[in-house]
Structure 1
């Protein structure tokens, strides 16, 4: 309503003046009515995250990051010198490997073209979980890593971290990324290989020794014997005077700084939209944003600047492949977070992944069960029905009798299926097909193309002289 007050000394409002004011007022009303759904929903506005800024990350040293780049791409650190960190976390594949379940030690190539080997070189098992993307893992809020959080910050521990190595976790690790970098080295199917093949695999399988310290000591030995690495370590760590001073902690801190500095995602259309650039999102993406932070309830878990609550949830994700079990455990399953905590209430819970660049990091889920964004979105909307409809035929896995016999074993176990479904915490949410499409469009707006290939990228060569994936 437009109210015009007349006072004795006020200028008289003429009919033309009143018409002009009325026109201006109606224009404002029309503008307010046509604001995008995301802006019109005050709840959505309140839930939007703060911008990603430098102070949200751990600091890093450039020389350590440069050394870490070489180490990350160098197969020297694997048992048979045929696989590196980059094989499963490659810049050409948005810091992942593009596979449902990774092909570790023994394979060749990257991504969907990676082979499973043959004859004596045939891989022993599939890597039990999907290779996660590495975007923004250097942020301060990441307090646990791996799908089950088995490496996490623990200020009460002398090392500062709770890890599978327990009291054997070395001290001096600067960040959780450094702590995480220690453990792919100690997996026979990921990097170490078998005891019959190399000295690192032998140390891992030495039941009378200490597998953690044994593997790390062998890696240290290889680094000390590689003369081209010494000046790089000296530039990165002033305390290193000679090769004998290089330790596994130096390796870990360098790789940690590299990953921290390399894959930072904060310049997506979504970020530009939050900064005030209204045209950064399409109208469909704005509707998807409103659903994400509203009725679809995605932000209840995918919250904050990195779109993760850093917690663990059971959502009835289908389990394919061999599953991850404790060492020497014969029963095939994957109990998720409970494998790290030994708590019954943590069974089948997995860490909420960040959704930064999610459109580029398929397949999805801890087991890579869903090949498309639509598939995993629809699973979240109705986990029980999606789980019951799931077919292993929809998963593109390299086939071989030794491997394929394990792929559907867990999903064929009726008792395990019941347990997975019983643990689910998500209630069904009904969305129309066009709303699902809008939600997917919003997830695509989380893509930061400037971050996908990394900051330093792929080195021309590595100090060992071995070929790079």
Structure 2
């Protein structure tokens, strides 16, 4: 059972190598070393092989987001941590995207309305109505990077400011979002079990929750009510005026508030100074030998880069990797979760989920769309041999209330495996334990050390005056 504990050389030779790797060596002479030499101090056989692999897979340094407007960031920070955005004023964005928990919540599937506490210790609050959210909370790392245009495990929200946005709100989807991350901020507000609350419930002040009697499909009404809460709160006047100079507050809408939260999340959760980033920038000493061997496997025999491609280790596409079907399931197919297939209506896309980025991956377990694997190594081993992993899966590693909800009857397993992505294959012999350790080392090299302590992004208070803690 997976545990539950969280947490070079001659100049002529060098010139040839540099040229073969498309590195600028024009200044490499015995009297004046190039930036390559000055920065690297040498190159090993492993580095030669790895840089060829990276070049073959077109893995380049990631373009960082443009600097964010400080006034928008400040407003977005307050909104992100403000329970005023939930129907009962009892949940904020940080509940499921905590800076202390890898910008996620450390749970297989999230506990939202009807629960109290933070992260894995969050539990049902007395006898309040409580439903698990159907999926694992996705992290927020690098979501503001240009080109990140797909959100949620099933991709039901996508788009950009140039081409427009598509969402579950259909024709009511605002088109004035800055990017998909901004758009993302508007949607956790709407489901009853997430932030909106259930009918008949009171807020923390004992007042009626005006959002409770609406439905999950009443997007415009919900957004208008939440926007009204913020613009009518005197505590937000200064922040709103600074973020939207010359705009009357009455003309603001949910997209404006969401764009501010997107600006904050971009500022707070962009994590592009990992050892791998420094290696991509030319520093051969940035990664350990084990991490380099792991990268060679990742971009070679283990075939991870077939889906986890590019500088962020994601193709932003959807794949069926035969993740165990555990937990509540989602929609009409519950207790199954059909993933992308439920959005497109195409059975061939059943059980497909968006490839997650692997940046800071070791910080954000549990893993898979439903948090089926508590440990990253187990998730990696599943990718390397999904047939064995699915057949021998131990559901006791997920949230204890969900452990008994595992769809492992032969017909379901056969159905899942029948559309298994063909890219999920290891070339040659299976990886041994030492090679898996090397893969794990490469996963660690994807962690930005600055992400280990984000205490400074947490405000001391929020503009509404509501408490930060439960």
TM range (shorter): 0.7 to 0.9
Q: Which residue of structure 2 lines up, in the alignment, with residue 424 of structure 1?
A: 420
**Residue 139 (structure 2) pairs with residue 133 (structure 1):** yes
The structure with more helix, counted as a fraction of residues: 1
Q: Are the counterparts in 1 of residues 80 and 261 from structure 2 also a CA contact under 8 Å?
A: yes
Distance 2:328 2:409 in 1: 13
Aligned partner of 1:317 among 306, 317, 323: 323
Q: Which residue of structure 1 lines up, in the alignment, with residue 213 of structure 2?
A: 202
Q: Are the counterparts in 2 of residues 36 and 283 from structure 1 also a CA contact under 8 Å?
A: no
Change (3 A) 1:398 1:461: farther
Q: Which residue of structure 2 lines up, in the alignment, with residue 11 of structure 1?
A: none
Q: Are the counterparts in 2 of residues 223 and 246 from structure 1 also a CA contact under 8 Å?
A: no
Work out which of the two has the higher radius of gyration on C-alpha atoms and give 1 or 2.
1
Distance 2:229 2:323 in 1: 40
Distance 1:273 1:156 in 2: 33
Distance 1:330 1:370 in 2: 22
Distance 2:84 2:93 in 1: 11
Aligned residues: 416
Q: Are the counterparts in 2 of residues 97 and 131 from structure 1 also a CA contact under 8 Å?
A: yes
Aligned partner of 1:364 among 361, 364, 367: 367
Distance 2:444 2:457 in 1: 23
Q: Are the counterparts in 2 of residues 195 and 204 from structure 1 also a CA contact under 8 Å?
A: no
Deviation at 1:225, TM superposition (A): 2.4
Q: Which residue of structure 2 lines up, in the alignment, with residue 264 of structure 1?
A: 270
Aligned partner of 1:76 among 74, 81, 84: 84
Change (3 A) 1:436 1:291: same
Q: Which moved more, 1:166-175 or 1:361-370?
A: 166-175
Distance 1:44 1:219 in 2: 49
Change (3 A) 1:289 1:281: same
Cα deviation per residue 1:187-228 (whole Å; 9 max; x = unaligned)? 1111111011121121226xxxx6111211221221122111
Distance 1:69 1:456 in 2: 11
Q: Superposition pairs for residues 65-104 of structure 1, below 5 Å? A: 65-104=73-112
Q: Which residue of structure 1 lines up, in the alignment, with residue 24 of structure 2?
A: none
Q: Residue 135 of structure 1: SS of its match in structure 2?
A: coil
Q: Superposition pairs for residues 103-122 of structure 1, below 5 Å? A: 103-119=111-127, 121-122=128-129
**Residue 217 (structure 2) pairs with residue 217 (structure 1):** no
Change (3 A) 1:82 1:155: closer
Distance 1:359 1:258 in 2: 23
Q: Which residue of structure 2 lines up, in the alignment, with residue 188 of structure 1?
A: 192
Distance 2:424 2:319 in 1: 13
Change (3 A) 1:202 1:122: closer
**Residue 260 (structure 2) pairs with residue 231 (structure 1):** no
Q: Are the counterparts in 2 of residues 192 and 204 from structure 1 also a CA contact under 8 Å?
A: no
Q: Are the counterparts in 2 of residues 65 and 261 from structure 1 also a CA contact under 8 Å?
A: yes
Cα deviation per residue 1:370-423 (whole Å; 9 max; x = unaligned)? 11111011000011211111121122x143xxxx4xx54451454333221112
TM-score under structure 2 normalisation? 0.83
Distance 2:447 2:160 in 1: 33
Distance 1:408 1:38 in 2: 47
Cα deviation per residue 1:11-50 (whole Å; 9 max; x = unaligned)? xxxxxxxxxxxxxxxxxxxxxx992424235641423621
Aligned partner of 1:350 among 345, 353, 357: 353
Distance 1:333 1:261 in 2: 36
Aligned partner of 1:337 among 336, 340, 356: 340
Cα deviation per residue 1:239-285 (whole Å; 9 max; x = unaligned)? 4334x333212211111111122111111111222333322222211
**Residue 50 (structure 2) pairs with residue 44 (structure 1):** no
Instruction: Return 5+ residue gaps in structure 1 as ranges.
Output: 1-32
Deviation at 1:172, TM superposition (A): 1.6
Change (3 A) 1:186 1:323: same
Q: Are the counterparts in 2 of residues 204 and 214 from structure 1 also a CA contact under 8 Å?
A: no
Q: Are the counterparts in 2 of residues 98 and 112 from structure 1 also a CA contact under 8 Å?
A: yes
